[in-house]
Chains A and B, each alone.
Chain A
Amino acid sequence: MADGGSGKGVGARLPRKEDDRFLRGKGRFVADIRIPGMREVAFLRGPIAHARIGAITVPEAHRAAVFTASDLTDVAPIRAYSGLKGFRRSDQPVLATGKVRHVGEAVAMIVAATRAEAEDIAGLIDIAWEPLPALVDMAEARATTTRVHEEWPDNIVLETFVDDDLSDIAATAPIVIRRSLRTARQCMSPIEGRGVVAEWDGRLDQLVMWSSAQMPHITRSGLSECLGLDHGQIRVISPDVGGGFGYKGILLPEEVALGWLARRIGAPVRWIEDRFEQLSANANCREHAYELTAYADGEGTLLALDCEAMVDAGAYSSYPFSACLEAAQIASILPGPYRFGRYRCRTFSVATNKPPILPYRGVARTGVCYAIETVMDAIAEATGIDIETVRQRNLVRSEEMPYTNVTNKVFDSGDYPEALRRAAAALDIPTLRAQQASETGPVRTGVGLSIFCEQGAHGTAVYHGWGIPMVPGHEQAQARLTPDGVLELRIGAHSHGQGMETSLAQVAHTILGINPAAVRLVHGDTALTPYSTGTWGSRSAVMSGGAVAAACETLAKRIAAIGAHLLQAEAGSVRVEDGSVVAPGGASVTLREVAHTWYRAPQLLPRDVDPAGLDVTAGYKPLSDGGTFSYAAHACAVTVDTETGFVTLGRYVIAEDGGVCLNPMIVDGQVLGGTAQGIGTALYEEMPYDGEAQPLAASLADYLLPGAGEIPRIAIEHMETPSPLTRFGQKGIGESGAIGPPAAIANAVNDALRPLGARVDALPITPRRILEALARAGR
C-alpha cells in the first residue's frame, strides 16, 4: 500500500468525510437553495415530436409572465460543433424557434410565485401546431426525405470510416459470423434531476447561478457564449449533486434561459426538473445498431472484424460533447481488449426527432462491449471452443504491454488474460455446465462472460482530435495552508458522489502527512476554483489526484524551508511528515506553527523565504494524453424461465484492475454502482417511442430502474497493475461497472436459450423479447 501504513493515505479504505452531512439530511442540493424573493419557473414543452410552431397565444393577464424565443433576441443558440471532417452543424435554440424537433423541447418559459401557478399559466397558452412527419427510427431517418434540420442534405450528423479491404480474409476465413444487434434508448436517471437557481447580482454586475452540474466551468463558458457576458460576469456554483452519470455534463438550454430571465426580471428564479420532464424530454443515451461480420480461423482466432454501426443522435448537438462523439467512438473502441489486426468500420450518427444524445457512463463502451463479446461467443459456438478459451486466444497479453491496437489505442499496462481467468474461475463454470446438462424443464441456466478495457482520463491530443468546444489541458489544483494549519484544496472538477473530499485528502496526506480531517476540499464554484473541464470520462482520480499531489509537493518544499529555519536546521535536511517538519535530530515544528509564522509572525521568517507563501497553484498532465486503460472481466450465471421469459441473475463476479486505487472502498463503490446501472441496461431500462416519436414511459413505474431485489450480490476480485503514466499509478475506472454487464448477461441468456435454438439480439432482454425469440424458434 502506498499509504505508508498510516491507514489514511493513498490506498487506504478511509471512510468518507462527506458522509456525515448526507446522513443527517444536511446535504445541500440545488432544490434546497432559498433566496429571498425567488420566483419559480416552469417550461411549456412541445407535446409533438416534429412540428412547426404557429401563432402562440398567451392570455392577456399573463403576458408578463411568459417568455418565448421572440423575447430572447439577445441570446445566441447553443453551438456544439465537432471539427471532424463532414460533421454537420446545427444550432440548438434555447427556446424552440420555428419548429420543435423532439417531444419535450421547451417552447415557452413561465415565471410565477410558485411552480404550480407557473404550470397553470402554461396550461392556458395556446400554440397553433403544424405537425410534420416524425423521424423515430434511425434507419428510417437515413432513408427519408423529411429533414430534422431543413438545411441539411440528409439526416446524417457524421459518417466515419475506418477502411481496410477485407476481401482476402472474407474469401478464405473458415468461420464467418454475422450479427445484427440493437440497444435501447435509455434515460440516465440520477435520482436527483437537473435544477437551476439564477440571480443577477447588480452590485457585481454578475450572474450567479446554482446548477446541479458536473462541469461548472464548462457551464460558465457556455453561458458566456450564449448570453454574451464575459466569464467574470458569471459565477456558477454546483452544490451537492444527486448523481450525474453524464446527465449533468451539459450546458442546459434551461441554464441559459434562467440566466437571461434573472437579469431581465431583476428577481432570482428557480427551475427544478421533475421526473416527468426528465423521462419525456431527456431519454438521451445509448441507442445503437450494429451490423457485424467477423472472420475467424478454426482455432477461434479472430482474424478481422467488419462493422456498420448507427447511433440515434437525436435532434440536436449538445454542448460540449456534440452529437457525434458516441458513434465516432464506436469506430475507435469496438476492437476492445483484443489483438486482431484487420478492421473495417463505418459509423453513422443519425439525427431523429428524439432528445439529443448525451454521453452516459461508459459512453459507447457499453454498446461495443456487447457487440464484440457477442462475436466472441459466436466464435466459441462455431468452433466448439469454450467461451473462456476463445477469449484467451484473442486477448492482448501482459508481455505485450504497452500495446498499440488496430485503432492506435495504446493500452498502458495490465494482464487482461489473468482478469478473465480469475472471473471465470470464481464463477465455477464446470459446475454450471454440469447443472445445464441435467436441465430438461422450463427453467434453464446460462453462463456469460465479458471483458473490456476502458480508456479514461484521456486528454488534449484525443479531444483536440474530436474538435469539440471542450479540450482538456493541464488539470490544476490549489493547495493553501490556512493560518491555523488547515489545508484547503481547490479543484475545478466536481463530485457527484465520487467522494473526492475524502480521496483527495488522502492524496494530501500521502504527500504532507497531514491528517485528512484537517483537509478541506473546495470544489463546485467557479469563483473559488481553477478552471477545469470537470468530472467526466473517468478522469478525476487521475487528473485532480495528480494536480493535488503536484500542488502539495510544492507546498511541502515551502513548508520545509520555513520549518528548517524555525528549527535552525539545514534547509535540505528536514522532512515533512505526520503534519510536522522534522529535523535530523528529531526536533520538529507542526504545520500549524509554520502556517502561523507565515501569516501572523512574519518577523520570524527566513530572509530568503519564497514570497509566494503557503498558497500554491499547480498543473498536471499524465505522461501521455492517450489515457489510462483500466479493465475488467465480468462473469455471471443466469436462469431463464422459458415459460414466463423472466431472467434471474445468479452468481456475478467481476475481476477488475484500476491500477493503484486512491481509496479502494470508493473504487468498489463505483464498480458496484456502475454494475447495477449495467444490469438495468441489460434487462430493464428502455424508453420506447411510438410511431410519432412519443415517449411511452412517463414515470418510474414504466421506466424500470433496478431496485435492491433485482441486483444480486456482486463479488469483486482485485488486481492492481499501476499505470506507468500517472502520479500514483492510478487509472480512471468510474465508468467501468456500467460497461460489462449487458455483454455478460446477454451472453448468459443466449447460452441458456441455445439448446432451444433461440437467441435474443437486442437490449434490454425483457420477458417479451425472450418469449418472441422462443416463438421464432418454434418453441
Chain B
Amino acid sequence: MTTLTVNGIETTLDVPPRTHLADALRETLGLTGTHLGCEHGVCGACTVELDGSPARACIAFAAACAGAVVRTIEGFEYDSVMAELRAAFTAHHALQCGYCTPGMLITARDIVLRIPGADEARVRRELAGNLCRCTGYQGIVDAILAVLAARRG
C-alpha cells in the first residue's frame, strides 16, 4: 500500500512493487493523460510533476512514491500558467497528433516558471528530454517563447 497525493487528492495505491508510476496513474487511477512512449526514460511522454518538478513517471516505481505530491496533466485543468501555454500551443500549432503534448506542457510550464529569461537556445536545450515526432519542435519552441515574452510584459 502506497499513499500519495495525486492532483490534490490523497490516494492509496495497492499495486505490485514492479508497477511504475505511469502505469499506476493510467491503469489504477484512470488518468490516461499521462502517456507512454518508451518506458526507458528517454522520450518524456510520461512527464508528470513530482514534488514540484517534472519527472518521468515511467522510471519511478509507484511504491517508491509514498508521501509524494504528483500532478498529471489532468491536475492542471485550472492552472493559469497552463492556460497560457495551452492558448500559445494552439496559436503556434505546437501539436499535431497530441501524443507528446501532456508531457511537453508539463516541461514547458516548468521552463516558464523556472527560467523566465530563457531564450530560444535555452528553451531548446531544456526540451531535450521531450521528444516530438510530428511538429519538428518549432511551434513548441515558439509557443513557449511567446508565453515567456508575455509574462515578461
In terms of DSSP, what is the predominant structure of the interface of chain A? loop
Chain B neighbourhood of A700, CB < 8 A: 38, 40, 42-43, 131
A22-B101, A708-B140, A708-B141 known; A497 vs B43 contact (CB < 8 Å)? no
B4 contacts the other chain (CB 8 A): no
Judging by beta carbons under 8 Å apart, are B139 and A25 in contact? no
- Closest B residue to A33 by beta carbon equals B32
Chain B neighbourhood of A23, CB < 8 A: 86, 89-90, 95, 98, 101, 105
A672-B139, A676-B137, A699-B40 known; A705 vs B131 contact (CB < 8 Å)? yes
> How far is the CB of A190 from the nearest CB of chain B, in Å?
6
Judging by beta carbons under 8 Å apart, are A699 and B38 in contact? yes
Chain A neighbourhood of B141, CB < 8 A: 708, 713
Chain A neighbourhood of B95, CB < 8 A: 19, 22-23
What bracket does the count of chain B residues touching chain A fall in?
Answer: 35 or more
Chain B neighbourhood of A496, CB < 8 A: 97
A240 contacts the other chain (CB 8 A): yes
User: Of B16, B31, B99, which contacts A242 at CB under 8 A?
Assistant: B99
Judging by beta carbons under 8 Å apart, are B33 and A243 in contact? no
Interface-facing stretch out of A138-146, A349-357, A634-642, A663-671: A663-671
Judging by beta carbons under 8 Å apart, are A25 and B133 in contact? no
User: Of B39, B72, B129, which contacts A275 at CB under 8 A?
Assistant: B39
In terms of DSSP, what is the predominant structure of the interface of chain B? loop
A32 contacts the other chain (CB 8 A): yes
> How far is the CB of B69 from the nearest CB of chain A, in Å?
18
A274 contacts the other chain (CB 8 A): yes
B134 contacts the other chain (CB 8 A): yes
Judging by beta carbons under 8 Å apart, are A32 and B32 in contact? yes
Judging by beta carbons under 8 Å apart, are B120 and A713 in contact? yes
B114 contacts the other chain (CB 8 A): no
Judging by beta carbons under 8 Å apart, are A711 and B97 in contact? no
B70-100 interface bits toward A, Cβ cutoff 8 Å, 1 = contact, 0 = none: 0011100100000000100111010111111
A688 contacts the other chain (CB 8 A): no
Chain B neighbourhood of A20, CB < 8 A: 86, 90
- Closest B residue to A25 by beta carbon equals B33
Judging by beta carbons under 8 Å apart, are A666 and B93 in contact? yes
Judging by beta carbons under 8 Å apart, are B99 and A499 in contact? no
- Closest A residue to B121 by beta carbon equals A709
Judging by beta carbons under 8 Å apart, are A677 and B73 in contact? no
Chain B neighbourhood of A676, CB < 8 A: 133, 135-137
Chain B neighbourhood of A673, CB < 8 A: 96, 133-136
Judging by beta carbons under 8 Å apart, are A274 and B97 in contact? no
> How far is the CB of A210 from the nearest CB of chain B, in Å?
14
Chain B neighbourhood of A16, CB < 8 A: 90, 93
Judging by beta carbons under 8 Å apart, are A240 and B97 in contact? yes
B36 contacts the other chain (CB 8 A): yes
In chain A, positions 132-153 with a C-beta closer than 8 Å to chain B are none
Judging by beta carbons under 8 Å apart, are A27 and B73 in contact? no
Judging by beta carbons under 8 Å apart, are B97 and A275 in contact? no
A654-688 interface bits toward B, Cβ cutoff 8 Å, 1 = contact, 0 = none: 00000000000110110011111100000000000
Number of interface residues of A (CB under 8 A): 56
In chain A, positions 1-54 with a C-beta closer than 8 Å to chain B are 15-16, 18-29, 31-32, 34
Alpha-carbon gap, A665 to B102, bound state (A)? 21
A116 contacts the other chain (CB 8 A): yes
Judging by beta carbons under 8 Å apart, are B33 and A275 in contact? no
For B40, B45, B77, B102, which residue has the most chain A Cβ atoms within 10 angstroms?
Answer: B40
- Closest A residue to B129 by beta carbon equals A707
A698-738 interface bits toward B, Cβ cutoff 8 Å, 1 = contact, 0 = none: 01110001011101011000000000000000000000010
Judging by beta carbons under 8 Å apart, are B138 and A672 in contact? yes
Chain A neighbourhood of B35, CB < 8 A: 29, 31, 191-192, 242
Alpha-carbon gap, A371 to B125, bound state (A)? 33
Chain A neighbourhood of B72, CB < 8 A: 25
A25-B73, A25-B102 known; A707 vs B97 contact (CB < 8 Å)? no
Chain B neighbourhood of A27, CB < 8 A: 33, 98-99, 101
Q: A707-B129, A713-B120 provided; 6 other pairs, C-beta below 8 A?
A: A19-B95, A24-B73, A29-B35, A191-B99, A243-B97, A243-B99
Chain B interfacial positions (CB closer than 8 Å to A): 16, 18, 26, 30-40, 42-43, 45, 72-74, 77, 86, 89-91, 93, 95-102, 105, 120, 123-125, 127-141
| 8 smallest beta-carbon distances between A and B, as pairs | A25-B33, A22-B98, A242-B99, A497-B96, A25-B73, A497-B97, A676-B136, A672-B136
Chain A interfacial positions (CB closer than 8 Å to B): 15-16, 18-29, 31-32, 34, 116, 189-193, 240-245, 274-275, 496-499, 665-666, 668-669, 672-677, 699-701, 705, 707-709, 711, 713-714, 737
A/B interface sample: 26 pairs, CB < 8 A: A15-B90, A15-B91, A25-B31, A25-B102, A26-B33, A31-B26, A31-B32, A34-B30, A116-B18, A190-B97, A191-B43, A191-B45, A191-B100, A193-B37, A240-B97, A245-B133, A275-B39, A497-B134, A669-B93, A672-B136, A673-B136, A676-B136, A701-B42, A707-B127, A707-B137, A737-B136
